[in-house]
């Protein structure tokens, strides 16, 4: 078998020290005092000899790669973009680099990404799981691979997770609408088996039931794959008929934004004709003619806690899972003002 | 030296085929018909023998990892989130997985990420570079590592890049404002050395000069690190005094959103008192009381082209760099309607 090309081989051919070669090949040449010409010569030799960096060996030495993986459910949703940024900022404080992927709400893509990131030897994973990815998460758990679920817990799996109290946040939002005098409150949620959305729906139903109001036909579900069309239909149904809704509660920011586009098109006045409340944050909520009342998820706190919990798990793989539930805050603005 | 533990060793101890072990350890156990109990047994043996997957060997065999890296400038900006999603969708069509990182407009973080992704043996990189990262990009180029710059070219570096015609888009936007009768047009841009922003500023200045108008004091710069404060100051200056601006042109979506927040607070009527045009897209632009006229970057086309260009480079590392410049479209809406 051909001997593996080492840094020493390159150093000998270039007539420099092994340390210098190492600096250049790990792109840290500013640390050594090496001119661009020499750096290029070293790289040229490395290419000629077909040098392959033995990253695996490097990481086996320390046992760590100081890299964690983050899998979000859909990177085109600014909510997850914000979370990614916060996780990165927090990881950076611990000198950890984050590489991430987006499952785009697709379980198959999620499996690919978990594989790719594990093969890349990340020390641990933070996952905002997509629907149908329970098996993948279960496998991580059975392998004792360090990971933390964020935003969306799987109650059937004993795993560390960080999420808000979705039931409570939803219940509070509906109570707020009731207090402002609304009686015909509709909700638009995703059609999904994911637990956090089920909890948001349950909060809506229990709050209405406790107020002696019926929920049938007031809860509409939209498919992720047919968002625009399903939301328009739901709003038509909820705001039409003899008893049109006087308030709409959106289970996520993406549902709300699509809904608000249609509400603007229809010329419905918010909050006079229709109060609006939504989960999550969005820049668009601030610029809507009636700034939108929203449930603020403490994403900074969640992101920090996720990184810290993951790092404790990486340090001690036998650590029992921890389930962190944080209360969310209702930020009341003009879209749900009393008439 | 201790012999490396192989899949065969694990298979023998478990009494199953090597193929089955391989399926389980690459998390593809659904492809083999293996029960959870057996899968767990196999994993337990692998752990006991301290099996380390030889990912490097696996990738050397094919010469490819079928993974590309994407480095965006700030993942919390929905514009880059959208690009990330499009790059992923396009890569997926070629059975390529994307892992990404965000430099958060920080050159040091960018260097870390390039290292981490190269060490993870991605086949190539798509980079939306941050200010001050020229040296890193130059190194990639000198190493003949396949990469494509997106959105922000470095004209001093011979590298493949995909971007819009920033000068032309900016020129057109200002001409549009002039045609609607505006004469005192202000621009707010980032204070940065990045070429694409310089081109946007130049388009503004040349368009005004060609119309015989002066630009001094009409162009204001905001620092990325002091966004809110600098934008408020700029808007106060531009809309105050004896000759208040009758139009504002924002060089990016993040500048526009912060600016529109302040314009709403001040109670300035758009477009009656002040026309508004911005680069980039945003959900918030749709929901503003006067939907905002914007320069639509063809990000779907750009994302597709970036992936295809990168794949051609990976296939042929001697391929000369290609510079793709795409025209952007001005989407005229109410925020810049003629009075």
pLDDT for A3 beyond 80? no
Looking at the structure, tell me whether residues B75 and B123 fall in a common domain.
yes
Comparing alpha-carbon positions, the chain A residue that sits nearest to B96 is A112
Say how far apart CA A329 and CA A175 lie, in whole Å.
13
Looking at the structure, tell me whether residues A198 and A143 fall in a common domain.
no
* Alpha-carbon distances, residue A190 vs A27, A200, A222 (angstroms): 46, 10, 5
Edge-to-edge order in the sheet of strand A293-296 = A219-222, A185-190, A247-250, A275-279, A293-296, A329-331
Using DSSP, state whether A185 is helix, strand or coil. Answer: strand
- Compute the count of residue pairs across chains A and B with CB atoms less than 8 Å apart: 156
Tens digits of per-residue pLDDT, B258-292?
999 999 999 999 999 999 999 998 999 999 999 99
B177 part of a folded domain: yes
A2 part of a folded domain: no
Q: Which two tokens stand for residue B23?
A: 């399926």
Looking at the structure, tell me whether residues B208 and B233 fall in a common domain.
yes
For B281-310, the DSSP string reads: --HHHHHBSSPPEEEE--HHHHHHHHHHHH
Which B positions 66-105 lie with beta carbon below 8 A of chain A?
67, 69, 74-78, 80-82, 84-85, 88-89, 92, 97-102, 104
Looking at the structure, tell me whether residues B280 and B191 fall in a common domain.
yes
Inspect the interface and report whether the beta carbons of A26 and B115 lie closer than 8 Å. yes
User: Which of A5, A120, A128, A333 would best serve as a mutation to test chain B binding (most B beta carbons within 10 A)?
Assistant: A120
B319 part of a folded domain: yes
Give the pLDDT band of residue A54 (cuts 50, 70, 90): low
Comparing alpha-carbon positions, the chain A residue that sits nearest to B59 is A119
Tens digits of per-residue pLDDT, A127-175?
999 999 999 999 999 888 999 999 999 999 999 999 999 999 999 999 9
B266 part of a folded domain: yes
- Which residue pairs from B141-149 have beta carbons closer than 8 angstroms and sit at least 24 positions apart in sequence? B142/A40, B142/A43, B143/A43, B143/A47, B144/A47, B144/B317, B144/B318, B145/B118, B146/B310, B146/B313, B146/B314, B146/B317, B147/B310, B147/B313, B148/B124, B148/B306, B148/B309, B148/B310, B148/B313
Give the pLDDT band of residue A27 (cuts 50, 70, 90): low
User: B301 in contact with A at a CB cutoff of 8 Å?
Assistant: no
Inspect the interface and report whether the beta carbons of A56 and B52 lie closer than 8 Å. yes
Tens digits of per-residue pLDDT, B7-60?
888 888 888 888 888 888 776 666 667 787 888 888 888 877 767 665 544 444
Inspect the interface and report whether the beta carbons of A85 and B92 lie closer than 8 Å. no
A59 part of a folded domain: no
Inspect the interface and report whether the beta carbons of B99 and A101 lie closer than 8 Å. yes
Which A positions 106-145 lie with beta carbon below 8 A of chain B?
109, 111-121, 135-136, 139, 142-143
- When CB atoms are compared, the residue of A52, A67, A111 closest to B27 is A111
* Alpha-carbon distances, residue B6 vs A59, B10, B11, B288, B290 (angstroms): 19, 7, 9, 61, 65
> Would you tell me how many other CB atoms lie within 10 Å of the CB of residue A252?
21
For B100-120, the DSSP string reads: EEE-TT-HHHHHHHHHHHHHT
- When CB atoms are compared, the residue of A55, A74, A142 closest to B40 is A142
Looking at the structure, tell me whether residues A192 and A286 fall in a common domain.
yes
Tens digits of per-residue pLDDT, A35-52?
878 888 888 888 777 676
Inspect the interface and report whether the beta carbons of B261 and A286 lie closer than 8 Å. yes
pLDDT for A57 beyond 70? no
Give the pLDDT band of residue A2 (cuts 50, 70, 90): very low
User: B44 in contact with A at a CB cutoff of 8 Å?
Assistant: no
Inspect the interface and report whether the beta carbons of B80 and A81 lie closer than 8 Å. yes
- When CB atoms are compared, the residue of A53, A97, A119 closest to B112 is A97
Comparing alpha-carbon positions, the chain A residue that sits nearest to B53 is A119
A60 part of a folded domain: no
Count how many residues are written for chain B: 339
Residues of B in contact with A109 (CB under 8 A): 92
Which domain range does residue B248 map to? 166-297+330-336
Inspect the interface and report whether the beta carbons of A27 and B136 lie closer than 8 Å. yes
DSSP run (H or E) holding B80: helix B78-93
pLDDT on residue B47: 75
Which B positions 211-250 lie with beta carbon below 8 A of chain A?
none
B1 part of a folded domain: no
Looking at the structure, tell me whether residues B172 and B293 fall in a common domain.
yes
Per-state percent for chain B, helix, strand, coil, to nearest 5 = 45, 15, 35
For A71-86, the DSSP string reads: EES-TTSHHHHHHHHH
Looking at the structure, tell me whether residues B111 and B146 fall in a common domain.
yes
Residues of B in contact with A40 (CB under 8 A): 142
Residues of A in contact with B143 (CB under 8 A): 43, 47
Residue closest to A8 by CA, chosen among A27, A21, A24, A23: A21
Looking at the structure, tell me whether residues B308 and B209 fall in a common domain.
no
- For residue A212, give how far its alpha carbon lies from the nearest alpha carbon of chain B (Å): 35
CATH number of the domain that residue B27 is part of: 1.10.260.40
Tens digits of per-residue pLDDT, A179-196?
999 999 999 999 999 999
- For residue A14, give how far its alpha carbon lies from the nearest alpha carbon of chain B (Å): 16
Q: Which two tokens stand for residue B131?
A: 């200010």
Q: Are B224 and B105 in contact (CB under 8 A)?
A: yes
Looking at the structure, tell me whether residues B293 and B171 fall in a common domain.
yes
Strands A293-296 and A67-72: unpaired
Looking at the structure, tell me whether residues B237 and B274 fall in a common domain.
yes
For A168-182, the DSSP string reads: HHHHHHHHHHHHTT-
User: Which of A75, A121, A137 would best serve as a mutation to test chain B binding (most B beta carbons within 10 A)?
Assistant: A75
User: A23 in contact with B at a CB cutoff of 8 Å?
Assistant: no
User: B54 in contact with A at a CB cutoff of 8 Å?
Assistant: yes
Looking at the structure, tell me whether residues A260 and A112 fall in a common domain.
no
Q: Which two tokens stand for residue A111?
A: 């499996």
Comparing alpha-carbon positions, the chain B residue that sits nearest to A265 is B287
Count how many residues are written for chain A: 339
A96 part of a folded domain: yes
pLDDT on residue A21: 85
User: Which of B76, B82, B144, B285 would best serve as a mutation to test chain A binding (most A beta carbons within 10 A)?
Assistant: B76
For B208-250, the DSSP string reads: HHHTT---TTTEEEE-GGGHHHHHHHHHHHHHSSSS--SEEEE
pLDDT on residue A319: 85
Tens digits of per-residue pLDDT, B48-71?
776 766 554 444 455 688 999 999
Average of per-residue pLDDT values in chain B? 90
Average the pLDDT over B203-228 and give the result.
Answer: 94
Range picked from A52-56, A62-66, A103-107, A231-235 for highest mean pLDDT: A231-235
Residues of A in contact with B52 (CB under 8 A): 56, 60
Task: Tell me how many domains chain B contains.
Answer: 3
- For residue B84, give how far its alpha carbon lies from the nearest alpha carbon of chain A (Å): 7
Inspect the interface and report whether the beta carbons of B74 and A55 lie closer than 8 Å. no
Looking at the structure, tell me whether residues B183 and B208 fall in a common domain.
yes
Using DSSP, state whether A334 is helix, strand or coil. Answer: helix
CATH number of the domain that residue A203 is part of: 3.40.50.2300
Say how far apart CA A128 and CA A134 lie, in whole Å.
11
């Amino acid at each position: 078998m051909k001997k593996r090309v080492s840094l020493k081989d390159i150093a000998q051919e270039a007539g420099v020290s092994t340390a210098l070669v190492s600096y250049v090949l790990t792109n840290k040449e500013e640390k050594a005092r090496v001119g661009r010409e020499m750096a290029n010569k070293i790289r040229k030799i490395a290419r000629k000899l077909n040098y392959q960096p033995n990253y695996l060996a490097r990481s086996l030495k320390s046992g760590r790669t100081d890299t964690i993986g983050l899998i979000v459910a859909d990177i085109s949703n600014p909510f997850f973009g914000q979370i990614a940024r916060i996780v990165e900022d927090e990881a950076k404080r611990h000198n950890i680099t984050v590489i991430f992927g987006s499952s785009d709400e697709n379980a198959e893509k999620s499996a690919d990404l978990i594989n790719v990131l594990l093969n890349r030897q990340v020390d641990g994973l933070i996952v905002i799981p997509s629907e149908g990815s329970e098996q993948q998460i279960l496998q991580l758990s059975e392998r004792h691979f360090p990971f933390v679920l964020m935003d969306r817990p799987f109650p059937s799996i004993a795993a560390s997770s960080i999420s808000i109290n979705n039931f409570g946040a939803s219940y509070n939002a509906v109570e707020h609408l009731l207090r402002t005098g609304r009686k015909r409150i509709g909700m638009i949620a995703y059609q999904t088996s994911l637990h956090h959305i089920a909890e948001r729906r349950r909060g809506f139903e229990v709050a209405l039931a406790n107020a002696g109001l019926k929920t049938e036909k007031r809860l509409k579900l939209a498919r992720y794959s047919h968002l625009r069309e399903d939301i328009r239909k739901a709003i038509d149904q909820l705001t039409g008929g003899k008893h049109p809704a006087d308030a709409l509660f959106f289970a996520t920011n993406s549902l709300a934004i699509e809904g608000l586009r249609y509400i603007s098109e229809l010329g419905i006045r918010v909050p006079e004709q229709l109060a609006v409340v939504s989960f999550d944050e969005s820049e668009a909520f601030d610029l809507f003619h009636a700034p939108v009342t929203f449930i603020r998820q403490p994403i900074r706190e969640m992101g920090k806690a996720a990184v810290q919990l993951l790092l404790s798990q990486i340090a001690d793989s036998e650590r029992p899972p921890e389930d962190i539930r944080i209360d969310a805050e209702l930020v009341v603005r003009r879209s749900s003002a009393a008439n």
